[in-house]
Structure 1
Amino acid sequence: MLYKNIAKPVLFRMDPEKAHHLTIDGLHTVANLPGGRALLRGMYSVPAYAELETSLCGLRFANPVGLAAGLDKNAKAVPGFSSIGFGFMEVGTVTPKPQAGNELPRLFRLPEDAALINRMGFNNVGIETMAEHLRQAGKRTIPVAVNIGKNKVTPNEQAEEDYRACIRGLYGYGDFFVVNISSPNTPDLRNLQHGDDLSRLLAAVQDEMKLQHQKHGGQAKPVLVKIAPDLEGDEITYMVRTIVDSGVSGIIASNTTISRAGLTNKHKGETGGLSGRPLTEKSTQLIHTIYSATEGKLPIIGSGGIFSAQDAYDKIRAGASLVEVYTALIYEGPGLIRRLNEGLRELLRKDGFKHISEAVGAAHRS
């Protein structure tokens, strides 16, 4: 109630991007105060529920609810986000060189639609500064994924070098990596989702991951591919086949959409990627399609329009092993994370499942 009654009214009177920076800076500051992380855990942490603990790709997740990429773009608030109940989080998208992103304004709230539109354009501090932020964050309490992309000025023909550079510079700091080829806000980026371009890129990514594993030692780190929700029919089939053949660890479904179907807010015509409630069904159906196409053999992280435990559960039943939130966190506040986990426990119990792994893909067995 603290968020909805006090913080949200203040933040929603501000420009969305200014409110975004204030939130990240505030969480960074609180987490670095003496006792700050303990305070955040006391207010928002999620109890350790055995039935929600998940192992995936060699990593342990205390619960299946994670933070999607795009909120902590520069890994500035990792200790803060790690203290409010998430089971894991993504940082980024990061590019090799710092870049300012697109012109302002570039972030819009659509309250009537419970949605956001952004055309940020991979604004970030670059790999060197992100590495320093992750080093300063210290010992991990949850798995942290590094979401990687290419600089705007890098042509697609040279994109693999940017992804390699991100892996080289940040391999020692991420627990797993996410290849972002699906943002609609970098020109031609989505073209990398198709055909030979995708095959070459993923081959380069896999090669660099192996090289860095040999250099750093330890357990090999997973790498997933984040895809767009605006694919249809054969496009999805071919893409999934290419991803499976590449040997990557899994898929995140999905990124933002360029669709504007059903929107009512005055900002509905703004260019950019749409996230939030309008994406709920679209991303769940994509998860269902991917799970079916891979016969459940390729791990999926579900993202897009999760506002309730039922939304998360629908994605899990469709085939997701983990889920991510972003837009709902803006509208609902950090108390959302605990509500999602507690709601998932109830839904599992209602369906007679003793562990969340039993519910993964259950919609295909009904």
Structure 2
Amino acid sequence: MTVPDWSYQTLFRPVLFRLPSEAARDFTLHSMGLISRLPGGPFLIRTLGHMEAWPVLASELAGVAIPYPVGLGGTLDPNGTAHKAMSAFGFGFIEIGPVTPEPIAAKRRIQREPEAEAIVYPEPYANAGLAETVRRLGRKQGHRLPLFVRTRHMPGSSREAACAQQLGSMQALAPYAGGFYIDAYDEAWSAEQNAELADRLRREVRERLGPDKPLLLYVPLDLTEQQMEAFVGQVRPAEWDGIVLGEAIRSEEGAVVGKPAFAASLARVGRLRRLCGRGLTIIASGGVHDPQDAIDLLEAGATYVQLHSGLVYAGPGLPKRINEAVISRRIQQGSLPEAALPPFWSGWGWMCLLGIGMVIGGMLAWLIAATDVVLPYDLAFLGLSRGELAEANARLLGFMSHDRITLAGTMISIGILYFQLAWHGLRRRQHWAKTALMTSGLVGFSSFFLYLGYGYFDPLHAAAAAVLLPMFVLSMRTAADAPPRDGPSRINDRIWLRAQWGQLMLVSLGIALAIGGVVIAGVGVTGVFVPQDLQYLCTSPAMLDAINERLVPLIAHDRAGFGGALFSDALALLIMALWGINEGRRWLWWTFLLGGLPGFAAGFSVHYQIGYTDFIHLLPAYFAFALYMAGLALLYPYMMRRGTGAR
């Protein structure tokens, strides 16, 4: 499945880790690939992950545009099954390979070692071969990320044969490759012989393919420092476009990829940077399992990092977290200046006023619904007095009060969310905050037309909409192009893992409330009542029509209005839960708390006040409240602590 960390860590990883490694990998990749090909699938992937475009992270590698400093390792998805899906996760480039002239099959299964956070590949060069790779790359890729192809000769080849094989592979792959990783080092040869072969390949590829394809030298991670220095020192690094430091440490079982490789990767990167100077590109790919690993490698001298086992153990949100951590680090170092906050009247201030207006309006609506219940124009529409309504059905006014108080509580909740999102998010030009406001606002204002479904026009609501709608339009002028300044958790500790459960609770709450809002609005414009409503009222729609033929339309107006408002509130909450939760973002935790309380307080208090306590009717509210409380409790340590920074 294409899922972010809050569902991967809590739901899917425990299930996938019960399967054999290859079965789990194939299931995951095919699921992601399938979703990316379905209508609406790419939109779903982008919605769940929400990887924003941040130009401050873009760079070039020998003329090839790299949007983000995080690459996808070739061995994780050797057949490119899910490349289209994963291109939306925050990767800047994708490795293809290793690719050998002929297929190489693994004789044993891939093994997973969860305690060590490692994956063991019995045959490190297993791949489908050149012909199959060319055939696959010839199909539409579904993404625009540059592909860097890692070529390798067949095991046991002579140096002459190895040179011919690699040249032939690169010529066949050139139409699809943005650049090449030349993997030519062979333990059967001396450092001088390996360097001679690498240099020969570089020269001949330049002659045959021209200067447009970046050529990067692939250096195995498990070389000793002496071997690495001897090899790199003789290939003249300045003649290459970069160096790729491998990800695996070989053992008797095979190639070990994962956390055990990180220490060696960090040490080798620092040594390579000292050997090669500042200007040469270095790509490090060993054992990056949390954002701090990537930061450490970048600070040690790496230009880019590649992910493999980190996606398996940390989750698909890792590249986005690394990108955000890189931005946060640059801010801390002063290399990314803070933009001035826009003026109040430039846009975001109008949303603050809209939020305040919603809170005040909700309070007034609550006061009216708890006292008179109906307004003079309601009675004029019915042609009845308040006393006549009470006489017709003793529970009718209480029932109408319960719809209107829950609507009032929802209005207050929306107002709190809008004000907080405007002050803390829109004012700082955060794209996710503007998206939450725009999506919720469009739904909320559009739901006004639901009121007209039964021919009842609410002049007070129309007046409020006429005042608030211009504020909404003016607020959307605010630009939302600033990267987040508060970085994510850099380490995958217990508090971070617990927060994934908390985020799951709030995302589930947003989805549940959205479904509830749609259902309530749908009931409001169709049947109006559910069986529990009629049981509480001890009546039927026909009996209500007999009292007054306009009574059901008036109740329908209340129900449709509440459903539309709840859906609008739920969308804001859902987007906040999906995209906004971050370590140390205290204001958002308080927004969840304060924004949820009015809605739950209104719903529970009015039901118990009027005696409408049917368990089945209130069960969705009990369930939602349980999700709300659990989410807040689980997220509290994560969102209230300061950034973890370095280890």
**Matched residue, 2:140:** 137
Structure with the bigger RCO (C-alpha within 8 Å, sep 6+) is: 1
Partner of 1:36: 41
Q: Spell out the pairing of 1:276-315 with structure 2 (5 A cutoff).
A: 276-315=258-297
1:276-309 C-alpha deviation (Å, 9 max, x unpaired): 2122121111111011011223210111111222
- Show the counterpart of 1:58: 63
User: 2:300 maps to what in 1?
Assistant: 318
Counterparts in 2 of 1:134 and 1:241: CA distance versus 1, 3 Å: same
User: The residue matched to 1:137 in structure 2 has which SS?
Assistant: coil
- AA paired with 1:275? V
2: CA distance, partners of 1:150 / 1:308: 33
Partner residue in 1 for 2:358: none
- Give the one of 175, 180, 185 matched to 2:183: 180
Q: Distance in 1 between matches of 2:157 and 2:80?
A: 23
Q: In the superposition, relative to structure 1, how do residues 116 and 139 fare at CA in structure 2: closer, same or farther (>3 Å)?
A: closer
Corresponding residue number in structure 2 for 1:206: 203
Q: How well do the aligned residues superpose, as a CA RMSD in angstroms?
A: 2.2
User: Aligned residue pairs: how many?
Assistant: 332
Distance change in 2, residues 1:192/1:324 (3 Å): farther
Separation of aligned partners in 2, 1:71 and 1:119: 14
Higher strand share: 1
SS of 2:247's equivalent in the other structure is: coil
Report what 2:250 is aligned to: 258
Query: Which runs of structure 1 show a deviation greater than 4 angstroms over 4 or more consecutive aligned residues?
Result: none
Q: Pick the aligned partner of 1:342 from 324, 335, 356.
A: 324
Paired with 1:80 and 1:191, the residues of 2 have a C-alpha distance of 39
Task: Please give the alpha-carbon distance, in whole angstroms, between the structure 2 residues aligned to 1:193 and 1:113.
Answer: 33
- 1:113·1:277 contact (CA, 8 Å) conserved in 2? yes
| TM-score (ref. length: structure 1) | 0.84
Give the direction of change, closer, same or farther, for the CA distance of 1:272–1:82 in structure 2 (3 Å limit). Answer: same
Q: What is the deviation of 1:122? A: 2.2
CA distance in 2, matches of 1:77, 1:68: 13
| Separation (CA, whole Å) in 1 of partners of 2:194 and 2:325 | 41
Residues 115, 246 of structure 1: alpha-carbon distance in 2 compared, 3 angstrom cutoff: same
- Tell whether the 8 Å contact from 2:76 to 2:309 is kept in structure 1 after alignment: no
Residue 172 of structure 1 and its aligned partner are, at CA, apart by 0.4
Out of 80, 83, 90, the residue aligned to residue 75 of structure 1 is 80
**Which whole-Å CA distance do the structure 2 matches of 1:193 and 1:304 have between them?**
24
SS at match of 2:175: coil
The 3-state SS of whatever aligns with 1:21 is helix
Larger Rg: 2
SS in 1 for 2:235: helix
Tell me the equivalent position of 2:221.
Answer: 229
Q: Is the 8 A contact 1:57 1:222 kept in 2?
A: yes
| Paired residue secondary structure (2:250) | coil
The alpha-carbon deviation at position 18 of structure 1 amounts to 1.8
Q: Using the TM superposition, give the Cα deviation of residue 245 of structure 1 relative to its aligned residue in structure 2, in angstroms.
A: 5.4
Q: Which residue of 2 aligns with 1:117?
A: 120
3-state DSSP class of the match of 2:148?
strand
Contact kept? 1:280, 1:306, Cα under 8 Å? yes
Q: Distance in 2 between matches of 1:192 and 1:74?
A: 31
Deviation sequence 1:36-90 (CA, Å, 0-9, x none): 2232222224212232222222111111011112112233333222122211110
Relative to structure 1, is the Cα distance of residues 193 and 76 closer, same or farther in structure 2, using a 3 angstrom cutoff? farther
Is the alpha carbon distance of 1:246 and 1:340 closer, same or farther for their aligned partners in structure 2, counting shifts above 3 Å? closer
Unpaired segments of 5 or more residues in structure 1? 183-188, 214-218, 260-269, 356-366
Q: What whole-Å deviation, never above 9, does each CA across 1:149-186 have from its counterpart, x for those lacking one?
A: 1223534442112211210111000111112246xxxx
CA distance in structure 1 between the partners assigned to 2:84 and 2:71 by the alignment: 14
Q: Tell me the equivalent position of 1:216.
A: none
CA–CA distance in 1 between the matches of 2:334 and 2:94? 29
Asked if structure 1 preserves the Cα contact closer than 8 Å seen for 2:103 and 2:128, the reply is: yes
Contact 1:310 1:344 in 2 (8 A): no
- Give 5+ residue unaligned stretches, structure 2: 1-5, 338-647
What is the distance in 2 between the residues matched to 1:150 and 1:112? 34
Alignment partner of 1:16 out of 15, 21, 41: 21
Tell me if the contact between 2:153 and 2:166 (Cα under 8 Å) persists in the aligned partners. yes
SS of residue in 1 equivalent to 2:149: strand
Displacement of 1:141 in angstroms is: 1.8
| Cα distance per residue 1:104-138 (max 9 Å; x no partner) | 22x22111111122123422222222122222134
Aligned to 1:4: 9
**Which residue number in structure 2 is paired with residue 243 of structure 1?**
235
TM-score by length of 2: 0.49
Name the SS for the 1:293 alignment partner: helix
Instruction: Work out the CA distance in 2 between the residues paired with 1:103 and 1:289.
Output: 35
Q: In structure 1, how many angstroms separate the alpha carbons of the residues matched to 2:287 and 2:321? A: 15
Matches of 1:172 and 1:10 in 2, distance apart?
40
CA distance in 1, matches of 2:97, 2:190: 19
Structure (1 or 2) with the greater helix fraction: 2
Helix, strand or coil: the match of 2:334?
coil
In structure 2, distance between residues paired with 1:180 and 1:71: 18
Residue 184 of structure 2 contacts residue 197 of structure 2 at CA under 8 Å; is this kept in 1? Answer: no
